Amino acid sequence: MADRLAGKVAVITGGASGIGEATARLFASEGARVLIADRNADRGPEVAAEIGEAALYVETDVRQSEDVQGMFAAADDAWGRVDVIYNNAGVGPPEDNIRDCPEKTYDLVSDINIRGVWLGMKYGIPHLERAGGGSIIATASVAGLVGLAGMAAYCASKGAVIAMVQAAAGEWASKGIRINCICPGGIATGQGWLSQERVEQSRQDWARIHPVGRSGEAIDIANAALFLASDASALITGQKLVVDGGWTGPDGRYDELTGRDWTQV
Ligand SMILES: NC(=O)c1ccc[n+]([C@@H]2O[C@H](COP(=O)([O-])OP(=O)(O)OC[C@H]3O[C@@H](n4cnc5c(N)ncnc54)[C@H](O)[C@@H]3O)[C@@H](O)[C@H]2O)c1
């Protein structure tokens, strides 16, 4: 336990599992009080109870304006302020190619991943203004930076999050409100549809894709969120922090041209 977020109140969407859950636990261990906003009414209260009195759960669908306003009101009622907003809830269901992808999949992905983040900024910013500033973080993805065939709606949604963060950061920088996003690579979580067995399989798949040779874990992203939430990142706004084990940096095709096995330097 340290105190990098001592005295701060954080609202975390999608905090009932995966990246959001790891972040809620980490933020609380760093002295924050955390409001877990998630539509998973089974797991959310359990996570909050495990964290203890520094955590509260509020059932929230980030697509619904009233729910989003309600989660901020709940944090304000409980602790009198909001300093950090982590708009993390998102989904990445199977899509297929654009021709064969059902419209309802596109709508679901867009509504949660884009509208949810937009509402989280729209109704969260007045709270941060009252607090005299604060930090907003969103979870984008490497899918917003490179094209992943078969995931066009998801890629578009995460590209939109990056663009939204860049635009909004300029609007609010002078008010002391910093707005950034994190672009995770492959992280071993369920993403709303993978069984535990498939999570283990994806852990091995991500290890092959990431030059560092291992999958990302939820705590890797929680640590990035902690940095962006804390005063250690005071001069950073409008940015994307890529946490992807080297997936999108080094170009493997060039490595092949050099004729060397770069895992054996
Ligand atoms: N796991 C990865 O490889 C990966 C990579 C890049 C980005 N991401 C992003 O990370 C974020 C977190 O995902 P995760 O990997 O932790 O998956 P996860 O499924 O474990 O967590 C997502 C959480 O969001 C909640 N949620 C979904 N829709 C919601 C809604 N409408 N309202 C409120 N809560 C909702 C779910 O109940 C769940 O608790 C997402 O935005 C995802 O797109 C994940």
- What phi and psi, each to the nearest 5 degrees, are found at residue 116? -60, -40
Question: Cα–Cα distance between 51 and 259 in angstroms, integer?
Answer: 50
- pLDDT tens-place string over residues 109-125: 999 999 999 999 999 99
Q: Which amino acid is at 3?
A: D
Q: For residue 80, tell me if it sits in a domain.
A: yes
- Which of 177, 198, 180 minimizes the C-alpha distance to 239? 180
Please tell me the total count of domains within the chain: 1
Nearest atom in ligand 1 to 91's CA: 43
Question: Cα–Cα distance between 265 and 263 in angstroms, integer?
Answer: 6
Residue 69: give its domain's CATH number.
3.40.50.720
CA distance to 94, 104, 156, 188, 189, per residue, from 192 (Å): 11, 16, 19, 12, 8
- pLDDT tens-place string over residues 206-246: 999 999 999 999 999 999 999 999 999 999 999 999 999 99
Give every CB contact of residue 262 below 8 A, 6+ residues apart in sequence: 211, 255
Q: For residue 3, tell me if it sits in a domain.
A: no
Q: How far is the CA of 191 from the centre of ligand 1 (A)?
A: 5
Question: Cα–Cα distance between 118 and 124 in angstroms, integer?
Answer: 10
Instruction: State the residue range of the domain holding 166.
Output: 9-264
**Annotated active-site residue in 57, 86, 123, 154:** 154
Residue 57 annotated to the active site:
no
Ligand 1, from 13, 26, 39: best to mutate by most atoms within 8 Å of Cβ? 39
Q: Which two tokens stand for residue 67?
A: 């729910």
Q: Which residue numbers in the chain have pLDDT < 70?
A: 1
